[in-house]
Amino acid sequence: MLPATLDTHAESLLMLRAGARPGEMLALRLWSVPTRLQPQGSTGPAQTLPLWIGSVQTLQHQRALEFVGMWRPLREAGSSLDALAADIGGLPHILAPHPASQLPVLRIRTDRGAAE
């Protein structure tokens, strides 16, 4: 499994799980970024929240030669994004198209649990 990069940095966290079909895996890649969020009503840097940027991919195992296999990302991300949205449970989230690219963007708020 080769790392993916964001601005030349490899992901901080890579999570994998089996896909729906044989020879498939779902990948969640997360990058920690220096930007921090300050929730409304908070004061000071101690109350800021880290921002993580991520991507989800469906990977398919392919053989390049008889002895070499590679996990290659599929172009569509719909099934892996749907799986992630289902797995986050009751965490507050929004799924909406990016204003510029119209690609789906899932925003998850992790500082609040499902009970709040």
Mean pLDDT, rounded, for 7-17: 86
Mean pLDDT of 77-95: 83
Contact 16, 4 (CB under 8 A): no
Stated as kind and residue range, the H or E segment containing 33 is strand 24-37
pLDDT number for residue 70: 86
Across the chain, what does the average pLDDT equal?
A: 82
CA gap 97, 104 in Å, rounded: 4
**Which pLDDT score is estimated for 3?**
67
Average pLDDT over residues 80-93: 85
For the whole model, what pTM was predicted?
Answer: 0.75
The model's pLDDT over 41-84, given as tens digits with 9 standing for 90+, comes to 777 666 788 888 888 889 999 887 778 888 888 877 677 888 88
d(CA 61, CA 25): 8
